[in-house]
Amino acid sequence: MSSTATRSDRGVSPVFLALVAIMGVSGWAVWTGFSASTGFAVFLFVVSGWIVSLCLHEYAHARTALHGGDITVGAKGYLTLNPLKYTHALLSIVLPVLFVIMGGIGLPGGAVFIERGRVAGRWKHSLISAAGPLTNVVFAVVLMLPFLLPGLGEGMPLPFLAAIAFLALLQVTAAILNLLPVPGLDGYGIVEPWLSYNVRRQVEPVAPFGLLIVFGCLWIPEVNAAFFGLVDAVMGLFGVEPYLPAFGLDWFRFWDGEPQVAG
């Protein structure tokens, strides 16, 4: 069997198209107020949007790897945008959604397994690792355009603005966390090709626990405050007021009731 990507290996998955449809319909419901529960519509919009961004993140890794020399990514299903192909469903979908519910943090949950031996050149290896977080950056910028460009956000209902602000916050947190040079995260994957063999061997045992270490540090109040201060500063550059993603999180947690918004 050939390891090259065939047309069927690159076709867009119906699962991904269904997620895009859910995101579009739920976003329309938030905008128009059609849903009986604005919070439930926001929940569907944010969850589907987050999983769509996860698919795009992992697709970017795989597509860059394909051009870098790993022709096996197609046969593995990584080019179909199917979230079920990106490692374990619990780690890739359920756990990230739980982290969103618990603290409004975008957990980098997916993974594609690149056969690095097929890729030659340190720059290619770095670019493969950088492609995913850069996708989150682009996704975040697109979501924040209504706040940045004069007139674009005018007339948009507050629940919709809050929903896209909260989804943008998840993209920003995911990008920042993923770009940290911590073993197991994409940021380390960017710098790893430039490290000596001895350094790579020494930090290798830490890689499976890198993400847990990062989230453990976020439980430290000073670290948490500094992290979200950076997130607020980044979003502030695009004109996103801090109260908007906070309202978005409140609507997202529809089981706690609708947020109290002053008229």
Active site residues: 58
Question: Quick one: how far is CA 255 from the chain centroid?
Answer: 24
Angstrom distances, CA of residue 59 to CA of 66, 151, 179, 232: 10, 33, 17, 28
Q: Nearest-CA neighbor of 137 among 80, 100, 186?
A: 186
Q: Nearest-CA neighbor of 104 among 21, 47, 24?
A: 47
Give the Cα separation of 253 and 119 in Å (integer).
44
Residues 6+ apart with CB under 8 A from 263: none
Angle value at C-alpha 102, between 263 and 241, nearest 5 degrees: 40
Give the Cα separation of 218 and 151 in Å (integer).
37
As given in the structure block, the two tokens for residue 132 are 């995913």
